[in-house]
Chain A
Amino acid sequence: MTTSNGAPLERSSGARAGSDFPLVFETSQPGRRAWSLPEAGDSSPALEDVIPAAHRRRDPPALPEVSERDLVRHYTRLSQRNWAIDVGAYPLGSCTMKYNPKISEEAASLPGFSGLHPLSDESLTPGALELLGVLEEALCEATGMSKLTFQPAAGATGELTGLLIMRAFHRSHGEERKRVIIPDSAHGTNPASVSLAGFQAHEVRSDERGLVDLNALRDALDADVAGLMLTNPNTLGLFERDIEKIAEAMHEVGGLLYYDGANFNSIVGVVRPGDMGFDIVHLNLHKTFATPHGGGGPGSGPLAVSERLARFLPAPVLGWDEGAERWFWDEDRPDSIGRIHSFHGNFGINVRAYCYLRSLGPQGLRRVAERAVLNANYLRVLVRESFPTVYEGTCMHEFVATAKPLRKHGVRGMDVAKRLIDLGYHPPTVYFPLVVEEALMVEPTETESRETIDGLAAALNQIAEEAATDPDLLHAAPVTTPVARPDEARAARDLKVRWTP
């Protein structure tokens, strides 16, 4: 393949993204502008009066100087390089890359929502408050919780918020508990959030079923344990069948149960975390409730808690004024852990989630979960000869297969992922969870058709055959993209986050 000017396309490691067109900095021409403003008149205040000298920069910022046309072309070309859910299947395990309905975009674009200033007075925003109020009630109903905050910007912020509430709860009993239990299959954000919140992560291993080892858990429990963080179904796509026993054991030592909502898509409308014994739940609206993510938009990670924890939620929370029959921001929360985000989270995402919820209704949500699980199991069975799962039995919304059988041909999970790009599919998550060697974590979601899943299965089975007959084809993949294999190791060892000429 060559570039538009005939030069061979650089494929080696370290090739920059979109290497057949220049960086926006490289198209810069002195004085070129994408805007024009009228000259400042005599009545304008002097710069010295507006910005004190200490806060003025000495040199203009080194921004690219380009016209609007150049800038639009640059970003449009970049966007054409992107894989997106609107382009094709995206079975990236643990990310729930479902199709995002366009009606939700339309709702979020309504000027009354998109033009709303976050400092607008409550009296001017009853519609926005009602939307949040109704969404809160619906999400609390779906999780079996009592009260909720929209502040967390995404899942990991929700985790931190939940852990700070956990600490506030124990402190209210005069306790400084130090440890939080995390299964070895957990998302990496869980131990990171635990550390950030000032706790120590205590890892508990999985058993031969791929589930939390109950005995190992019981051995780890004492009065120093603040709580447990669990994803159910877990990261292997397996439902933690002992959850009631786990909850009982945790509560016996006074610990709290935190539900990581990463995998909520597989149980929404079917079973509620609150009924399993969880005390704190975060939801990833950008996963389960079909709002854009993965470079496509900000997330939203509302955090819901049971009644006994409601007083610790970040202030303000939404209140319902019975007399005036309206929603209001309740700032009178003396036990609150305080704000963790400005204003009320990513409001536009909440509008999309509300729209999705109202479009589907409770029965529709249940069908989402049922079809997500059905699709995952259908695909799992279609590819199990080529890519077996390590743990037996049916899966939930995703499954973790292994590329280990291909290692005898010198082919690894990464080669499978790269080849899948050439065959027209986004790769699954690879090398995660860590407890499975050469892991391929596949989540087709409920929004793909049977034809698409059949095609994906055929591609995966074809790759397994190619591994035996032509492994070099897999090592060379992808050949259809401008950049083949970015050097991840060098990028991590020699991190450069600032462009220099």
Chain B
Amino acid sequence: MPSEVPNDRRYTKEHEWAQERDGRIVVGITHFAQDQLGDVVFVGLPEAGTEVQAGQPMGEVESTKSVSDVYSPVNGTIIERNAEVESNPELINNDPYGSGWLVSIDGDVAALEGLMSAQEYATATEQEQP
């Protein structure tokens, strides 16, 4: 079920999105990812101050089907984790690009350019569609 991939952010091949907001990098998982996972029942996120590395696991998302690692899109330090999504993990299913965000990172904003554009991500996931 194809859906709009927002143009205002960048994407990883592991299905995270990353967006610069006021100098911070906000990270979440994509609509495609939440659709593959199914109902999310638990989110484990790194604490503020945790150093994260691009391409390395920084947290996990558990659904009724499986547990998946969440990878950091950039190098940096966690500023904040979304407490709301930890107590209401269904936000990831209902609003993955909005209130279902996961963490904000103090990191290399320029590195976002190295990630996929919305168009590139949409093409990449089309190949994974049934």
Cβ contacts under 8 Å, B63 to chain A: 489
Seen from chain B, the residues whose Cβ lies within 8 Å of a Cβ on chain A are 36, 38-42, 63-67, 89-90, 130
A173 at interface, CB cutoff 8 A: no
| Closest CB in chain A relative to B65 CB, distance in Å | 4
Instruction: Check if B42 sits within 8 Å of A431, measured CB to CB.
Output: no
Closest B residue by C-beta to A433? B66
Residue A73 at the B interface, CB < 8 A? Answer: no
Give chain B residues whose Cβ lies under 8 Å from the Cβ of A405: 130
Q: Do residues B130 and A489 form an inter-chain contact, with CB atoms below 8 A?
A: no
Q: In angstroms, how far is the closest chain B Cβ from the Cβ of A416?
A: 14
CA distance A8 to B67 in the complex (A): 37
A contact residues around B42 at 8 Å (CB):
492-493
A-B contact pairs, 8 of them (CB 8 A): A404-B130, A407-B130, A431-B66, A437-B36, A489-B40, A489-B63, A489-B64, A492-B42
For residue A188, which residues in chain B have a CB less than 8 angstroms away from its CB? Answer: 67
Complex: how many Å from CA A488 to CA B37? 13
Instruction: Please report which residues of chain A, range 385-437, place their CB below 8 angstroms from some CB of chain B when the two chains form the complex.
Output: 404-405, 407-408, 431-432, 434, 437
Residues of chain A contacted by B38 (CB below 8 angstroms): 431, 489
Residues of A within 8 A of B130 (CB): 404-405, 407-408
Contacts of B40 in A (CB 8 A): 489
Complex formed: what's the CA distance from A95 to B42 in Å? 26
Given A404-B130, A405-B130, A407-B130, are A489 and B66 also a contact pair (CB < 8 Å)? no
- Report Cα–Cα, A143/B33, bound state, in Å: 42
Q: Which residues of A contact B65 (CB under 8 A)?
A: 431, 434
CB of A184, distance to nearest CB on chain B (Å): 11
Minimal beta-carbon separation of B14 from chain A (angstroms): 14
A493–B90 touching, CB < 8 Å: yes
- Measured CB to CB, the closest approach of chain B to A206, in angstroms, equals 16
Q: A434 CA to B61 CA in the complex, in Å?
A: 14
Evaluate contact between B66 and A492: CB separation under 8 angstroms: no
CA distance A405 to B129 in the complex (A): 10
Q: Which partner residue on chain B sits nearest A494 by CB separation? A: B41
**How many angstroms from the CA of A476 to the CA of B118 in the assembled complex?**
36
Bound form: Cα–Cα A492–B62 in Å: 10
Residue of B nearest to A402 (CB): B130
Return A497 CB to nearest CB of chain B, in Å.
Answer: 15
Query: Distance in Å from the Cβ of B16 to the closest Cβ of chain A?
Result: 18
Nearest residue (CB) in A for B93 is A489
A386 to chain B, nearest CB (A): 14
Given the interface contacts A407-B130, A489-B39, A493-B41, does A434 sit within 8 Å of B90 by beta carbon? no
> Hey, which chain B residues are within 8 Å of A493, CB to CB?
41-42, 89-90
The 3 closest A-B pairs by CB, nearest first: A489-B39, A492-B41, A407-B130
Give min CB distance, B61 to chain A, whole Å: 13
> Could you say which residues of chain A place their CB within 8 Å of the CB of B36?
437
- B87 (CB) vs chain A CBs: closest residue: A493
Complex contacts, B67 vs chain A, CB 8 Å: 188
Distance (whole angstroms) from the CB of B27 to the closest CB of chain A: 22
Point out the residues of chain A lying under 8 angstroms from B64, CB to CB.
Answer: 488-489, 492
Select from chain B the residue with minimum beta-carbon distance to A434. Answer: B66
Asked whether, in the complex, the Cβ of A488 is within 8 Å of the Cβ of B39, the reply is yes
* Most-contacted residue by chain A among B38, B65, B67 (CB, 10 A): B65
Within the complex, the shortest CB–CB distance from A409 to chain B, in Å, comes to 10
- Given A432-B66, A434-B66, A489-B64, 19 more contacts at CB 8 Å? A188-B67, A404-B130, A408-B130, A431-B38, A431-B65, A434-B65, A437-B36, A488-B39, A488-B64, A489-B38, A489-B39, A489-B40, A489-B41, A489-B90, A492-B64, A493-B41, A493-B42, A493-B89, A493-B90
User: Which residue, B66, B89, B130, has most C-beta atoms of chain A within 10 A?
Assistant: B130
Q: In A422-470, which residues have CB < 8 Å from any B CB?
A: 431-432, 434, 437
- Distance in Å: Cβ of B48 to nearest Cβ of chain A: 24
CA distance in complex: A366, B108 (Å): 61
- Tell me which residues across on chain B come within 8 A of A407, comparing CB atoms: 130
**Which residue of chain A has the shortest Cβ distance to B89 in the bound complex?**
A493
What's the least CB distance linking B3 to chain A, in Å?
14
Contacts of B66 in A (CB 8 A): 431-432, 434
Residues of B within 8 A of A437 (CB): 36
**Bound complex: CA A431 to CA B66 (Å):** 8
CA distance A432 to B41 in the complex (A): 17
Q: Point out which of B38, B40, B41 has the most chain A C-beta atoms below 10 A from its C-beta.
A: B41
**B37–chain A nearest beta-carbon distance, Å:** 10
CB distance from A8 to the nearest CB of B (A): 27
Chain B nearest CB from A434 CB (Å) reads 5
What are the residues of chain B within 8 A of A492 when measuring CB–CB? 41-42, 64
Which residue of A188, A404, A405, A431 has the most chain B CB atoms within 10 A of its CB atom?
Answer: A431
* Complex: chain B residue closest to A203, CB-CB: B69
Name the distance in Å between B66's Cβ and chain A's nearest Cβ.
5
B90: which A residues are within 8 A, CB to CB? Answer: 489, 493
- A432: chain B residues within 8 A (beta carbon): 66
Chain A's closest residue to B69 (CB) is A203
CB distance from B25 to the nearest CB of A (A): 26
Interface string of A170-199 (1 = CB under 8 A from B): 000000000000000000100000000000
CB distance from B64 to the nearest CB of A (A): 4
B24 to chain A, nearest CB (A): 28
Q: How far is the CA of A404 from the CA of B36 in the complex (A)?
A: 12
B41 contacts across to A, CB distance below 8 A: 489, 492-493
Q: Bound complex: CA of A492 vs CA of B89, how far in Å?
A: 11
Residues of A within 8 A of B39 (CB): 488-489
CB contacts (< 8 Å) of A489 on chain B: these are: 38-41, 63-64, 90
Shortest Cβ distance from B39 into A: residue? A489
A98 CA to B1 CA, complexed, in Å: 39
Tell me, rounded to whole Å, the shortest Cβ–Cβ distance linking B41 to chain A: 4
